[in-house]
């Protein structure tokens, strides 16, 4: 290269404006970091807001009880899409009501009508529990007297048992069947103090499985010790027609058209036949004076009322409580301190082919296909008509209420949650976090590529 050419190149290079490589690289790096920080911050804010939307303000854990204690909501909603499960955090705490049926949120692609809705004792916090098959609340899924636990059928036909779901600590305990050879075990009634559970087993009596016996057993939850109460080829009807006295020393249950009274140690005390179109009233059938309540159908009408009998079946007449009209039947949940009877009323399905005015087996009056919805009613002494305590959407077809809530006699104004449930929002938060991470990674890679490209200085 000649001297003249070298000088000409230097003069030309001196006229080209200098490119600020270092300054531009620093600005680009700062801009990229700001974008990444903004994206990550947005994701973190979204994730932080999800638990608040799920549980409201306050730290995780059981929400504090309301000032008035447990109360019955005056109406039910339906579990939202992605509702939290009974064992999810934050824990629900004791429940006031469980319910089931064929409404939205209670059915699924796999378990059909096997989802149970759960409502907290003091607020409109909802949870769900999947049984896996149709299991009406109050008949095959039972809420403990204090509302803390729920008993539901669990296991398989080879290893049947009861799932005891603790709504306070979120644990699930399997109570195995007490009957050797049983293929199905269902809860039938809680002892008043919650320390024992009566279970019903179905056991085949021949290899073909064409004949079965049904066994009632009282199982102590702490030891697993079981006392056999009854074994018969007749299935006890009307769901869980089993009632304990307040002190738990005696229990009454219905088998076919008879009521049997036994002691807690399995000793048979007495039995009597039921009048036509009547049945043991339900888990609240024992009155404080030691008599029993039956539900009775007025012949030729759609009216149902409670009647009193002694433990020999002697009719003591109807208490001064209003009758319930326009229902398939009623089921007695318990008694309030002022003598008000709290009952579940089953409103008929208009399209059902079944006639409810004539003779009909009691257990057929509560099957899902014959019911449109349920109500919880108060039958006050001397009142002219029942008082509606709780309403439910159509296709909520079965319900159970904790004994503690019945006895408390409090009804609160309900505001059921609407929209997606907690699991949906947690899933949305996880998706947002993943997408935010992918976006941040992409921006980081793009920033690095730009710095490499712009960092290449021109050769002199």
Would you place residue 385 in the very low, low, confident or very high pLDDT band (cuts 50, 70, 90)? Answer: very high
Q: Mean pLDDT across the stretch 126-134?
A: 94
**Per-residue pLDDT tens over the stretch 261-271:** 999 999 999 99
Would you mind telling me the total number of residues written for the chain in this entry? 460
Identify which of 159-163, 210-214, 363-367 has the greatest average pLDDT.
159-163
Return d(Cα 429, Cα 437) in angstroms, integer: 12
Q: Is the residue at 370 inside a domain?
A: yes
Q: What is the pLDDT of residue 346?
A: 96
| CA dihedral angle for residue 26, residue 31, residue 35, residue 38, rounded to 10 degrees | 90
Structural domain of residue 388, as residue ranges? Answer: 277-409
Number of domains composing the chain: 1
Check: CB of residue 81 under 8 Å from CB of residue 425: no
Return d(Cα 20, Cα 14) in angstroms, integer: 15
Check: CB of residue 106 under 8 Å from CB of residue 444: no
Q: What is the pLDDT of residue 16?
A: 54
Kind of pairing between the strands at 292-297 and 196-204: unpaired
Q: What is the pLDDT of residue 12?
A: 61
Quote the percentage of the chain above a pLDDT of 70: 77
Would you place residue 58 in the very low, low, confident or very high pLDDT band (cuts 50, 70, 90)? Answer: very low
* Range from 237-246, 303-312, 381-390, 412-421 carrying the lowest mean pLDDT: 237-246
Q: Is the residue at 352 inside a domain?
A: yes
Q: Is the residue at 281 inside a domain?
A: yes
For residue 30, pLDDT beyond 80: no
For residue 31, pLDDT beyond 80: no
Would you place residue 323 in the very low, low, confident or very high pLDDT band (cuts 50, 70, 90)? Answer: very high
C-alpha closest to that of 403 among 97, 101, 169, 136? 97
CA geometry: angle at 413 spanning 327 and 240, to 5°?
A: 40
How does the average pLDDT of the chain come out, rounded?
85
Q: Bigger pLDDT: 287 or 5?
A: 287
Q: Bigger pLDDT: 8 or 137?
A: 137
Q: How many helices (H) and strands (E) does the chain have?
A: 4, 25
For residue 439, pLDDT beyond 80: no
Q: Is the peptide bond before 90 cis (omega within 30 degrees of 0)?
A: yes
Q: What is the pLDDT of residue 96?
A: 98
Residues 6+ apart with CB under 8 A from 10: none
**Per-residue pLDDT tens over the stretch 230-263:** 998 866 555 557 999 999 999 999 988 899 999 9
Q: What is the pLDDT of residue 367?
A: 92
Q: What is the pLDDT of residue 270?
A: 97
Would you place residue 427 in the very low, low, confident or very high pLDDT band (cuts 50, 70, 90)? Answer: low
**Per-residue pLDDT tens over the stretch 64-88:** 434 468 999 999 999 998 999 999 9
Q: What is the pLDDT of residue 362?
A: 77
Would you place residue 51 in the very low, low, confident or very high pLDDT band (cuts 50, 70, 90)? Answer: very low
For residue 98, pLDDT beyond 90: yes
**Per-residue pLDDT tens over the stretch 156-210:** 989 999 999 999 999 999 999 999 999 999 999 999 999 999 999 999 999 888 8
Would you place residue 301 in the very low, low, confident or very high pLDDT band (cuts 50, 70, 90)? Answer: confident
Q: Mean pLDDT across the stretch 3-31?
A: 60
For residue 61, pLDDT beyond 50: no
Q: Mean pLDDT across the stretch 117-122?
A: 97
Q: With helix as H, strand as E and coil as C, how does 72-94 read? A: EECECCCCCCCCCECCCCCCCCC
For residue 7, pLDDT beyond 50: yes
Would you place residue 138 in the very low, low, confident or very high pLDDT band (cuts 50, 70, 90)? Answer: very high
Helix (H) or strand (E) holding 371: strand 371-379
Q: Is the residue at 428 inside a domain?
A: no
Q: Is the residue at 326 inside a domain?
A: yes
Q: Is the residue at 63 inside a domain?
A: no
At 405, list the tokens: 């809530």
Q: Is the residue at 115 inside a domain?
A: no
For residue 402, pLDDT beyond 80: yes
Residues 6+ apart with CB under 8 A from 49: none
Question: Tokens 């919805």 — which residue?
Answer: 373
Q: Is the residue at 374 inside a domain?
A: yes
Q: What is the pLDDT of residue 137?
A: 96
Residues 6+ apart with CB under 8 A from 237: 254, 255, 256, 279, 361, 362, 363
């Amino acid at each position: 290269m000649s001297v003249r050419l070298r000088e000409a190149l230097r003069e030309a290079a001196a006229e080209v404006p200098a490119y600020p490589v270092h300054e531009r690289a620093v600005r680009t790096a700062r801009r990229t970091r700001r974008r990444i920080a903004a994206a990550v911050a947005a994701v973190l804010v979204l994730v932080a807001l999800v638990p608040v939307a799920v549980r409201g303000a306050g730290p995780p854990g059981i929400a504090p009880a309301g000032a008035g204690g447990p109360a019955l909501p005056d109406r039910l909603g339906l579990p939202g899409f992605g509702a939290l499960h009974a064992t999810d955090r934050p824990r629900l705490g004791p429940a006031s009501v469980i319910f089931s049926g064929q409404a939205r949120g209670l059915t699924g692609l796999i378990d059909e009508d096997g989802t149970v809705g759960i409502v907290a004792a003091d607020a409109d916090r909802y949870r769900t529990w999947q049984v896996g098959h149709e299991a009406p609340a109050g008949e095959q899924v039972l809420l403990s007297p204090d509302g803390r636990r729920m008993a539901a059928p669990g296991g398989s036909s080879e290893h049947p048992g009861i799932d005891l779901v603790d709504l306070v600590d979120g644990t699930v305990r399997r109570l195995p069947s007490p009957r050797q050879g049983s293929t199905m075990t269902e809860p039938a009634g809680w002892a008043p103090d919650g320390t024992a559970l009566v279970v019903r087993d179905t056991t085949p009596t021949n290899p073909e499985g064409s004949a079965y016996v049904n066994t009632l057993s009282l199982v102590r939850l702490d030891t697993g010790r079981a006392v056999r109460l009854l074994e018969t080829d007749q299935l006890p009807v009307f769901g869980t027609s089993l009632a304990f006295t307040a002190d738990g020393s005696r229990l009454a249950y219905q088998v076919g058209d008879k009521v049997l009274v036994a002691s807690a140690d399995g000793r048979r005390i007495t039995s009597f036949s039921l009048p036509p179109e009547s049945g043991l009233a339900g888990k609240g059938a024992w009155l404080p004076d030691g008599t029993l309540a039956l539900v009775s159908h007025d012949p030729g009408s759609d009216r149902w009322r409670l009647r009193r009998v002694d433990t020999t079946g002697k009719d003591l007449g109807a208490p001064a409580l209003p009758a319930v009209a326009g229902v398939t039947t009623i089921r007695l949940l318990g008694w309030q301190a002022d003598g008000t009877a709290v009952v579940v009323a089953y409103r008929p399905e208009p399209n059902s082919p079944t006639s409810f005015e004539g003779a009909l087996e009691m257990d057929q009056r509560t099957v899902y296909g014959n019911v449109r919805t349920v109500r919880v009613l108060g039958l006050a002494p001397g009142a002219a008509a029942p008082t509606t305590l709780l309403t439910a959407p159509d296709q909520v077809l079965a319900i159970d209420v904790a004994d503690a809530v019945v006895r408390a006699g409090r009804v609160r104004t309900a505001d059921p949650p609407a929209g997606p449930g907690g699991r949906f929002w947690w899933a949305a938060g996880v998706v947002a976090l993943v997408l935010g991470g992918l976006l941040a990674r992409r921006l980081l890679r793009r920033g690095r590529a730009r710095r490499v490209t712009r960092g290449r200085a021109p050769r002199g």
